[in-house]
Amino acid sequence: MRSAAQLLAEATTIAVVGASRDPSKPAHSVPLQMLRHGWKIIPVNPFVDEIYGIPTVPTLADLPTPVDIVNIFRPPAAALEVVREAIAVKAPAVWLQSGITSAEARRLAAEAGMDYVEDRCLAVERAVAGLFKVS
């Protein structure tokens, strides 16, 4: 399994399940930081049409292109279903944000051969590793 830093270094496109348009929420600010540092972000949110000027998709099944990481900003109880959806779209990795853990989601991801990170922040890990993407 790849480390968090390896995942970010090798990733280009990140689907963010639960992305928020509310600037006061981490589900808005964290993906925005990743976008500002060069990653392509696809917000996954069935309740809004766009976030950061980027069209949203309602579910992972609606992704227009393959993604490298499915980043999850949903409660732990919802993580298992999101991991199932990530497996269905053949995402190679799932990342549960800070404060989100799920033994069942971890088990399912491992059985599917996916890279898995939980209870860690994308933006913090990016900053600690000093990573950015050149456009």
What CATH architecture does domain 4-129 belong to?
Answer: 3-Layer(aba) Sandwich (3.40)
Which two three-digit tokens encode residue 101? 């853990």
Strands 54-55 and 50-51: antiparallel
* pTM, entire model: 0.96
Q: What strands, in cross-sheet order, belong to the sheet with 40-44?
A: 40-44, 13-17, 69-72, 93-96, 115-117
How much is the pLDDT for 134?
76
Token pair 């999850």 is at which residue? 72
How much is the pLDDT for 135?
60
How much is the pLDDT for 1?
87
Output the tens digit of pLDDT for each of the chain's 135 residues.
899 999 999 999 999 999 999 999 999 999 999 999 999 999 999 999 999 999 999 999 999 999 999 999 999 999 999 999 999 999 999 999 999 999 999 999 999 999 999 999 999 999 999 999 876
